[in-house]
Amino acid sequence: MILTEDLRRTFRRRGAAVEAVRGISLRVERGELVAVLGPNGAGKSTLLRMLTTLLRPTAGTARVAGVDVVADPAGVRQRIGYVGQGNAGGHHHRVLDELVTQGALYGRTRAEARRRAGELMEALELRGLERRTVASLSGGQRRRMDVAIGLVHRPGLLFLDEPTTGMDPQARANLWEHITRLRHETDTTVVLTTHYLDEADAVAERIVVVDHGEVIADAGSAALRARHAEDRIELEVDEPGTVAGLVDGTVAGSRVELRLADGARVLPGLLARLERAGVTVHAAHLHEASLDDVFLALTGRSLREEGAAA
Amino acid sequence: MSVTVETPVEPDTVRPGVVRDTVTIFLREFQLVLRDPFSLIFSLLQPLVFLGLFAPLLAGSLSSDQVGGESPLTWFLPGVVVMIALFGTGSTGANLLYELMTGSYERVLATPVSRPAILVGRALKELAPLVVQAVLVTLAALPFGVTFSPVGVAVGLAILGVFGVGLGALSYALGLASRDREWLFWGVQQTLIFPLLILSGMMLPLESGPGWMQAAATVNPLTYVVEAERAAFTGALTDPAIRHGAIAAALTCAVGLVVGVRAVLRSAG
């Protein structure tokens, strides 16, 4: 569905060249749900804007839905849906009007556009808001409307640029429910950017980690964690010094700490072994590797801190 | 790495073409007027306000021989219509500024809509009330003993429409250039629009002005459009001024569309 080779984009800022995307080669198959994860300024949006023809690549090639983004941008636009970072609807326009207009922009007749708008208003829980202006909607409603606008022409490939940024947790969960359901019903390929770790972890089957304009990891969440980060088990025991030797761990204060892969599967056996050895374990803590640990291992920086600083 | 070239996905869409795209963009903008007709009422009052406030002064300050032997009102009113068009289409870009800040401009760019259609559709929205305004001016002038030719007014509006699309496209380009700097749009727009207006002889005849003003007026496309409107409104359709005005309008339109479309394409990378 997407095939890029050495895609690059350089911006000129006060005479200096800033490389926002530095050679990204990516392949996305039909039906995949891919999250592009990275800190602010990593190049996620620039990548997405090139794939959606809103920005011309400085170098490299990209075929989106089988069409070259530079040779036939209009052809790409016909085949994709795009939900940008901003709100799609004009502030003073009415919700239904904007959905119908969007249909007309894709060549639908007014009647078809109206029917499709009705379907989407139903599917995205926007019923009753037809005559409201975009400005009067809540943040969550506005974002659902943005998604509705992106889906008007039933694209086989949907791009979402930070769809949930700034939303409260409930509205975020609600939006994801809609997106995952629509995807299962229609087999749409979805590419989204996010800097929320938990979100990437929960919704995406594949995570492309981007930092400084480059892909630094690309795999499923579980595989990323297995490859780049370790789980941690901490045991509260009476004599940590002795126990550490038994289980190949290290002493951390009054606890014994083990770093290993697949901690959840190892833990029961470990406890049984210690029991057989006559060690009383007062408590066992399992810290599973998070995507943040993956990011930390890959870059030496924590994504959580970067997100907070931004 | 072996690269298999994917065949293009069959889109579930049709390219509507530039005319339908223009209509769609026009309707999207015009919806705002339809949904909130109050704005229309004020824009319709505008020419009447000018008529009511200027007409009493004109009789005293302009004599017929200063304006080519016509009644001052016959000379003045076509200028008012041009001015309304000038201010209306000149602000096309201002309505865009807000959409640039939210995401709705980007959303339109991400659709396959024809790029010139975005410019023309928006400019036409600013021009649409002009038709009603012109009819109103024509009717309001009747009690003052001034009769305009309906066919002439229609020809005049057509020329003005072509000019207005060009100016609207230029305003749009200015709006795109002022992205994130709203003050820039109004600063540049106001700095340009008043010299353009005064140096076209729209409100005051330039015949009594100094030579440099008259010279400047000859390179101002608006001068020719204003002259054409005056000839058209009186029904003098064979007057060469009409041809000159039409050429000036067509050139403005062409330049505006080239500059505007380039600005749109640049704004999209």
Question: How many Cβ contacts (< 8 angstroms) between chains A and B?
Answer: 128
pLDDT digits (tens, 9 = 90+) for A212-269: 999 998 988 888 888 888 899 999 988 888 888 888 888 888 889 998 888 889 999 9
Average pLDDT of every residue of chain B: 86
Give the nearest partner residue to B13 out of A3, A63, A107, using CB atoms. A107
- Other beta carbons less than 10 A from residue B97's beta carbon: 20
**CATH number of this structure's domain A230-288, picked from the four choices 1.10.1060, 1.20.120, 3.30.70, 2.30.29:** 3.30.70
Q: Could you give the strand order of the β-sheet that contains A214-219, starting from the edge strand earlier in sequence?
A: A80-83, A157-161, A189-194, A33-37, A206-211, A214-219
Contacts of B28 in chain A (CB under 8 A): 90, 93, 97-98, 101
Closest to B124 (Cα-Cα) out of B19, B12, B4: B19
Residue spans of the domains in chain B: they are 18-27+72-267
Q: What is the pLDDT of residue B17?
A: 86
Predicted-complex ipTM score? 0.84
Give the nearest partner residue to B13 out of A56, A90, A106, using CB atoms. A106
Between B135 and A190, name the one with better pLDDT. A190
A179/B contact by beta carbon, under 8 A? no
Strands A281-287 and A255-260: what pairing? unpaired
Query: Across the interface, do A105 and B35 touch by the CB < 8 Å criterion?
Result: no
Position B98 pLDDT exceeds 60? yes
Q: Are A52 and A41 in contact (CB under 8 A)?
A: no
State the burial class of residue A304 (Cβ atoms within 10 Å of its Cβ: 0-12, 13-18, 19+). middle
How far is the alpha carbon of A98 from chain B, nearest alpha carbon, in Å? 8
pLDDT digits (tens, 9 = 90+) for A117-142: 999 999 888 999 999 999 999 988 99
In chain A, residues 48-107 whose CB comes closer than 8 Å to chain B = 49-50, 52-56, 63, 65-67, 74-75, 77-80, 82, 84-94, 97-98, 101-102, 104-107
Q: What is the pLDDT of residue B62?
A: 67
A112/B contact by beta carbon, under 8 A? no
Q: What is the pLDDT of residue A132?
A: 95
Kindly indicate the confidence band of residue A308, based on its pLDDT and cuts at 50, 70 and 90.
Answer: very low
Q: Is A230-288 in the same CATH topology as A2-225?
A: no
A169/B contact by beta carbon, under 8 A? no
Give the nearest partner residue to B28 out of A78, A91, A101, using CB atoms. A101
Lowest mean pLDDT among B4-8, B225-229, B261-265: B4-8
Whose structure tokens read 């639908």? Answer: A108
Query: Across the interface, do B110 and A156 touch by the CB < 8 Å criterion?
Result: no
Predicted TM-score (pTM) above 0.90: no
Position A185 pLDDT exceeds 50? yes
Q: Are A193 and A207 in contact (CB under 8 A)?
A: no
A98 to chain B: closest CA residue? B28
B204-232: buried (b, 16+ CB within 10 Å) or exposed (e) per residue? Answer: ebbeeeeeeeeebbeebbbbbbbbbbbbb
Kindly indicate the confidence band of residue B1, based on its pLDDT and cuts at 50, 70 and 90.
Answer: very low
Between B199 and B137, name the one with better pLDDT. B199
A66 to chain B: closest CA residue? B8
Position B74 pLDDT exceeds 60? yes
How far is the alpha carbon of B268 from chain A, nearest alpha carbon, in Å? 5
Query: Across the interface, do B9 and A1 touch by the CB < 8 Å criterion?
Result: yes
Position B49 pLDDT exceeds 90? no
Position A299 pLDDT exceeds 80? yes
Residue type, A101: T
Q: What is the pLDDT of residue B109?
A: 93
Q: What is the pLDDT of residue B227?
A: 94
Q: Are B58 and B73 in contact (CB under 8 A)?
A: yes
**CATH number of this structure's domain A2-225, picked from the four choices 3.40.50.300, 2.30.30.760, 1.10.10.10, 3.40.630.10:** 3.40.50.300
Kindly indicate the confidence band of residue B94, based on its pLDDT and cuts at 50, 70 and 90.
Answer: confident
Q: Could you give the strand order of the β-sheet that contains A255-260, starting from the edge strand earlier in sequence?
A: A250-252, A255-260, A231-237, A281-287
Q: What is the pLDDT of residue B132?
A: 83
Segment B141-145 shows an average pLDDT of 82
Position A310 pLDDT exceeds 50? no
Between A18 and A309, name the one with better pLDDT. A18
Q: Which long-range contacts (CB under 8 A, 24 or more apart) does A303-310 make?
A: A303/A37, A303/A38, A303/A39, A303/A195, A303/A197, A304/A197, A306/A39, A306/A40, A306/A195, A307/A39, A307/A40, A307/A195, A307/A196, A310/A39, A310/A40, A310/A41, A310/A195
Between B84 and A63, name the one with better pLDDT. A63
State the best of A2, A50, A106, A154 to mutate against chain B, taking most chain B CBs within 10 Å.
A106
How far is the alpha carbon of A63 from chain B, nearest alpha carbon, in Å? 8
Kindly indicate the confidence band of residue B169, based on its pLDDT and cuts at 50, 70 and 90.
Answer: very high
Give alpha helix (H) positions in chain A.
44-51, 73-79, 95-105, 110-123, 139-151, 169-186, 197-203, 221-228, 240-247, 263-276, 291-299, 303-309
Euclidean distance between CA atoms A93 and B29, whole angstroms: 9
Between A187 and A306, name the one with better pLDDT. A187
Position B66 pLDDT exceeds 70? no
- Other beta carbons less than 10 A from residue B24's beta carbon: 28
Segment A149-157 shows an average pLDDT of 93
Euclidean distance between CA atoms A131 and B241, whole angstroms: 48
Residue type, A144: R
Percent of chain A with pLDDT over 70: 98
Position A309 pLDDT exceeds 50? no
Residue spans of the domains in chain A: they are 2-225, 230-288
Beta bridge partners of A33: A190
Query: Across the interface, do B9 and A94 touch by the CB < 8 Å criterion?
Result: no
Kindly indicate the confidence band of residue B69, based on its pLDDT and cuts at 50, 70 and 90.
Answer: low
Query: Across the interface, do A66 and B268 touch by the CB < 8 Å criterion?
Result: no
Segment B167-194 shows an average pLDDT of 89
Residues 6+ apart with CB under 8 A from B10: none
Segment B166-175 shows an average pLDDT of 92
State the best of A105, A151, A160 to mutate against chain B, taking most chain B CBs within 10 Å.
A105
How far is the alpha carbon of A109 from chain B, nearest alpha carbon, in Å? 10
Position B249 pLDDT exceeds 70? yes
Query: Across the interface, do B8 and A67 touch by the CB < 8 Å criterion?
Result: yes
Give the nearest partner residue to B104 out of A55, A89, A157, using CB atoms. A89
Position B121 pLDDT exceeds 50? yes
How far is the alpha carbon of B27 from chain A, nearest alpha carbon, in Å? 8
Give the count of alpha carbons within 13 A of A112, CB side only.
14
pLDDT digits (tens, 9 = 90+) for B122-135: 888 888 888 888 88
Q: What is the pLDDT of residue B70?
A: 67
Average pLDDT of every residue of chain A: 89
Query: Across the interface, do A3 and B3 touch by the CB < 8 Å criterion?
Result: yes
Euclidean distance between CA atoms B196 and B17, whole angstroms: 35
